[in-house]
Structure 1
């Protein structure tokens, strides 16, 4: 990786003095963009309700047979089976990934010129993910994500030709680690797509605010310390203790936490601490996740962690082998308030209230590779609670179990209706599309991590 040598004080001062890029007051009201006709939305809701049993069965099947990232073969086959029953045959193994898939309806290409509008046909992508976590299965609810994405796509598909646009469903593997969406981006999977959206399960009855990203970018770092073995009792002075190095690094990172931004997070584990207590450890290893809710602050925090890892080697006479970004970095989610507002409008027709919040995160949060998509094209990633107990949190086996309960299926249906409704509005309303893109450009435009 490239080290920038950026002064943290400079970046942190700029962060503290910055104002939100898109406060809710700067976004035009939903009424300014009528979107698709009411009868289109009525048909979408009716179709999703008609799919309820199939979507429930899909969510349960994925829950009962969880698969890890890049190995979700049976999961993809189950999603494809549902799509095929409704006349959609997805291409599996797209973008150089065995467990990615894609299907499209509507205009032949994104560059297709609409006969009704005379302009290029708009292209909206509904994004699915379906990987599970080791040992605790679908404890992040990706079975719900896959089912609701499938439902939203199938519900809107019959309307797309009349709307003069194109609709895709893009299946992206390995969100929990591996950066499937970044791999799809690099392979051109989102080329020609104008906007994208997905919905993520959340806690209790929470709904993510209309404004604010709520996610952090994340970078993954592995370090291996090499010392010299020796007899821990007879001749410890002949050894160079690699365990001292990794412990020094871990403790120094703990001390760093006192002096980082509230939007920052660092956590890690020692994966190898030596082989025997009577042998001076010759080789130790650790892995850390570095998170921040802004791209620039993520870069600075990563450099501070790398300095610590190198200093621990210097302090102990060992050598450090550092592997930064051994998986693609995840960027902080770039919110699109206008699209989120339209999603919220349709969710509210289902009796769910969507709150407002500051346009800027006030503390650190989880990470998603949908953040990478959100910096390539306008995208949304709202969250909707599954109706379980408020203390049943993601990345816990109890959360996985909650994904197949009746309240979770109700949330799935409501989220699918709202997501399909947003996509319909986007495809139907040229002024809405222009405003969405304007917001995206005003908030920094296209950025890739390589910058």
Structure 2
């Protein structure tokens, strides 16, 4: 499926009556559009919340959202299973520029990301004798979907009434909690020819409980490491000395990693679980397996920390006469690069709609702990992921109590308030060319600096040329080469994509 907004079977088009029309932002259109669709968005919100689905399994969420927009008729073009990803979707509306030899080859384009995967074991049912743990929306992704759906509808209504050319997209981004759905979408071309990608994520109330949202957020770089230990099975009672205990090797490694935590930076995190510790107590385990989530402030620190963990695994195996296989090749989530220009405008838009919002807030903007695949997207194009705050009685994300909070009426109302601000921001990107250029310039300056840093880290001796970038794309993302040659993506975007997909910038 093409990534741009040229005419296809799945894209609805309107023709702009005036190619250079610029109107003041229609606040009332935003408010009215969200009000008109409120009950239907609410139904989607609670369908997702009441039917929590794990990463990659979000069939109910996918179908519910697509069914609704298909029910609205030809005003929305709906593509199910977008980009060959089973639970992704693309919903869009487009107003093409009037025919002109000076017209841009594509209209301005904005994406609203919608997340909808849940977390395992966050809902506890039953008594002490028969406790059952089920998935729940303990990170509030139902609210992310609601905010993005509201923003998408409102922005599209405003764009239609303005007559300005533009393309508005709602992109279903599954598997954020595990699997990196946005990385798959990035590689498939979902974010090519897009001017901005915006979304917002819920969290608990901050000390200023009148504050509704904060524009600037940050996240850590993160990746998963899996260690599999192999030993020798033996009868645990008759001849344990004949065995080599793989579980002991794992436990030794786990203790070493726990000791390593004393020397971690405040921005670094290591969390792990044992996924296989043996099958029976009377057998010396010959197989053991653990999975760890590793986080650091940037990609270099992340890889350095992963190497220290590998040493811990190797030491644990050596001490017990076992062997270990470490999978350290999984794609990483990169730290979020919030676009400064987008965040300032989001702050202005939210306050214009009487939702108290600040550009930054201590503990939200400057103390990252979480990780997100939106970080990878933010290396490829201007992006942001604002925070908005819900009443959770002090509970933080990834807890059962936060899952309960994500299902309240107040939380839903706050998501709709955020939808207004996101819609206003997106409309500004679509209809204000100087602002759009400012967003792009800010992105390219930041990414160029980060790319140069990454090249130095990887001892990349060549200068940054189109030829060197093409060579790197050939080894990591060959599908981008034609687009890069046709200048559909900039050099900064290409380098951002290389970083976001974990390319090593080595000498060529």
Normalising TM by the smaller chain, what interval? 0.7 to 0.9
Q: Tell me the equivalent position of 1:321.
A: 325
Deviation at 1:43, TM superposition (A): 1.1
For residues 59 and 170 of structure 1, the distance between their equivalents in structure 2, rounded to whole angstroms, comes to 16
Equivalent in the alignment of 1:20: none
Distance in 1 (alpha carbons) for counterparts of 2:236 and 2:445 = 61
RMSD: 2.4
* Paired residues of 2:343 and 2:359 also in contact (CA < 8 A): no
In structure 1, what is the equivalent of residue 91 of structure 2?
103
In structure 1, the residue matched to 2:199 is 198
Q: How does 1:220-231 map to 2 (within 5 A)?
A: 220-231=224-235
- 1:246 aligned to which of 241, 246, 250: 250
**Structure 2 runs not aligned, ≥5 long:** 1-20, 121-133, 449-495
Query: Residues 380 and 355 of structure 1: is their aligned pair in 2 closer, same or farther, counting only changes over 3 Å?
Result: closer
CA separation in 2, counterparts of 1:315 and 1:142?
A: 44
Identify the residue that residue 336 of structure 1 maps to in structure 2.
339
Matched ranges for 1:54-203 at <5 A = 54-86=40-72, 87-107=75-95, 118-120=103-105, 121-134=107-120, 135-160=134-159, 162-203=163-204
| Structure 2 counterpart of 1:273, from 274, 277, 293 | 277
Distance 1:221 1:155 in 2: 42
Q: Which has the higher contact order (CA 8 A, sep 6+)?
A: 1
Q: Structure 2 length normalisation: TM-score?
A: 0.76
Which residue of the partner structure matches residue 30 of structure 2?
Answer: 44
Instruction: Quote the offset at 1:216 in angstroms.
Output: 1.3
Q: For 1:47 and 1:353, locate their aligned partners in 2 and report how far apart those are by CA, in whole Å.
A: 22
Tell me if structure 1 keeps the 8 A contact 2:109–2:193: yes
Q: How far 1:405 sits from its partner (Å)? A: 1.8
Q: Is the 8 A contact 2:247 2:285 kept in 1?
A: yes
Among 376, 393, 397, the residue aligned to 1:394: 397
Q: CA deviation at 1:141?
A: 0.9
Aligned position for 2:299: 295
User: SS state of the match for residue 190, structure 1?
Assistant: coil
> CA separation in 1, counterparts of 2:100 and 2:26?
20
Task: Give the structure-1-normalised TM-score.
Answer: 0.85
Q: Matches of 2:40 and 2:355 in 1, distance apart?
A: 23
Q: Once the 2 structures are TM-superposed, how far is the Cα of residue 413 of structure 1 from its aligned partner?
A: 1.1
Cα contact 1:216–1:367 (8 A) shared by 2: yes
CA distance in 2, matches of 1:428, 1:359: 34
> Contact conserved, 1:136 with 1:396, CA < 8 A, in 2?
no
What does the per-residue CA deviation read over 1:229-273, in whole Å, with 9 as the maximum and x for residues that have no partner?
223344333221111110111111111111122111000011121
Name whichever of 78-87 and 134-143 sits farther off: 78-87
- The alpha-carbon deviation at position 403 of structure 1 amounts to 2.2
Whether the 8 Å contact between 1:49 and 1:413 is mirrored in structure 2 is no
Q: Whole-Å Cα distance in 1 between the matches of residues 429 and 376 of structure 2?
A: 21
Q: How many equivalent pairs are there?
A: 411
Match of 1:426 among 424, 429, 442: 429
Check if 1:416 corresponds to 2:419. yes
After superposition, give the CA deviation of every residue in 1:372-397 in whole Å (9 maximum; x if it has no partner). 111111101111012332x1222222
What's the CA shift for 1:358?
7.4
**Deviation digits for residues 183-237 of structure 1 (CA, Å, limit 9, x no counterpart):** 11111111111210111111125656444x4211211111110001223344333
Q: Distance in 2 between matches of 1:197 and 1:39?
A: 18
Give the conservation status (yes or no) of the 8 Å contact 1:336–1:440.
Answer: yes
SS in 1 for 2:417: helix
Structure 2 SS opposite 1:199: strand
Structure 1 Cα separation of the partners of residues 282 and 159 of structure 2: 69
Which stretch shows the higher mean deviation, 84-93 or 219-228? 84-93
Which has more strand, going by share of residues?
2
